[in-house]
Amino acid sequence: MTHFHELFEYHQNTKHSYFSVRSNPNRIDWNNPPNRFKTYSLDYKRIDLNKENQNSKFLYLIAGITAKKTYPNMEYYLRVNPSAGALYPNEIYFQVRNEDGFEDGIYHYEVSSSSVTLLKKLSLNEGIEANLGLDYSYDGFIFFISSLYFRSSWKYKNRAFRYCLLDAGHIIGSIEFSSYLFNKEFEIIYDFNKEEINKIFNFDNKEFFTSIVISGNKNENKKQPLTLDIQTIDGTGYEEENISFFEINNIIEQAYKDSIKIIQKTKQKDKSNYVFNKDLLQDTVFKRRSIREFSNQSISKVQFESIMNILNQPIASDCDEVVDIYYVINRVQGMPLGLYKDGVCIKEGDLKEKAGYLCLEQDLGKSSAVTFFLASKSSNYQKAGIIGHRLYISSNYLNIGCSGIGAYYDDEVCELIGENSMILYALAIGN
């Protein structure tokens, strides 16, 4: 079942290998990073998210700022959601209807000021559901996740679209946990008229939508399509004077066009069924961080099994695909060393060095308790990002560290797992 198969070519063209990273070193202009924040004109009304209102908290726990890092000549902010290289190439928009604390409308999530920008008030008969071709509507939130690939391609070149999609998956994962905390519905839509919605938001070719998440309740009221009379904002302009040095990347733009064509799809109706202590989970979501270094400590089998239980829960969406979870056990008490899939050891032995090497020689891969490789015959990177987010939260919940690993030797991972799959993502957990 290969719904996203058109991305296969892009995937092939953006593999890392021992040879490619040495023969084609990446040259980066470190002095000019693109802006990580998109801001609309101050003429639009803002609603502050630092309020005691439940819906403000719900939104804050999706993408709010949770830490600040200061370096000699720069400072940057870390968020609820992780991001490859902390470049945050995604933006979030949403429609809200009949929710406490917010006028019905279309909003942009303005991360820099911890607020949301009201782009348009909704009249009673209007709804973006109609633009999506639906003859029903939703009370609640409908999120739209976009990518501004230049924020990432500036550094990661052609491989950046993978990171945009994985990061989008992490945002979807954040929405999943925040929806669980605040008793809201959660369902993903990948198949929608993306070009049409891009147009409605007045995007130029620098920004495009990749997914929708519904955190609301369906009702039978049909709405009229809406129009948005908003400015086109360059969300990649450089921080100094907002000058744009945007460089078009044709390989990524083609990959986006290819990703739009969904040939065949299978709906996943089942929902995840979590049993977390909500206070502890909320604290975990707020404090989530990527571990930078492990100290070679082990975790217990019970901890590992409870993490796997979260990872294997269904993800409700309109296009579900199988993502296989392979894992190299390095330090789990009571589990023999080796490569596993679905609880079965498929290759016995000490693979620590190998796992570290495969993650582009990053120590994280070998000093971990477990190193994961997510593989698929289709290329739904966003689903891999969601699974990655579940791994972060379920590990951090147990005080176990986690890090995403976007760089690995693609073909050599396939050799290890003995499958000619697309390797979508790697991650490591441990202490």
Ligand X SMILES: Cc1cc2nc3c(=O)[nH]c(=O)nc-3n(C[C@H](O)[C@H](O)[C@H](O)COP(=O)(O)O)c2cc1C
Q: Which residues bind ligand X (CB under 6 A)?
A: 78, 82-86, 163, 166-167, 170, 289-290, 362, 364, 403-407
Tell me how far CA of residue 279 lies from CA of 134, 177, 276, in angstroms.
Answer: 36, 12, 9
Q: Minimum distance from CB of 26 to ligand X (Å)?
A: 13
Cβ nearer to ligand X, comparing 84 with 128: 84
Q: Minimum distance from CB of 362 to ligand X (Å)?
A: 6
Cβ nearer to ligand X, comparing 95 with 362: 362
Q: Minimum distance from CB of 105 to ligand X (Å)?
A: 30
8 Å CB contact between 95 and 106: yes
Cβ nearer to ligand X, comparing 34 with 82: 82
Q: Minimum distance from CB of 254 to ligand X (Å)?
A: 21
Q: Nearest 5 degrees, angle CA 180-CA 184-CA 187? A: 90
Cβ nearer to ligand X, comparing 131 with 376: 376
Q: Minimum distance from CB of 84 to ligand X (Å)?
A: 4
C-alpha 3/C-alpha 261 separation (Å) is 8
Cβ nearer to ligand X, comparing 197 with 400: 400
C-alpha 339/C-alpha 194 separation (Å) is 39
Instruction: Mark 238-266 as b/e (b = at least 16 C-beta within 10 Å).
Output: beeeeeeebeebebbeebbebbbeeeebe
Q: Minimum distance from CB of 305 to ligand X (Å)?
A: 24
Cβ nearer to ligand X, comparing 150 with 163: 163
8 Å CB contact between 281 and 179: no
C-alpha 220/C-alpha 200 separation (Å) is 24
How far the first Cα of the chain sits from its last, in Å, is: 37
Cβ nearer to ligand X, comparing 142 with 307: 307
Q: Minimum distance from CB of 177 to ligand X (Å)?
A: 15
- Ranges of beta strands (E only) in 122-185 are 137-147
Cβ nearer to ligand X, comparing 119 with 413: 413
DSSP category for residue 228: -
8 Å CB contact between 376 and 424: yes
8 Å CB contact between 234 and 148: no
Q: Minimum distance from CB of 93 to ligand X (Å)?
A: 21
Name the region of 195 (left: φ>0; alpha: ψ -120 to 50; beta: rest): alpha
Measured in whole angstroms, the distance separating CA 4 from the mean position of its chain's CA atoms is 17
How many CB atoms are closer than 10 A to CB 300?
A: 15
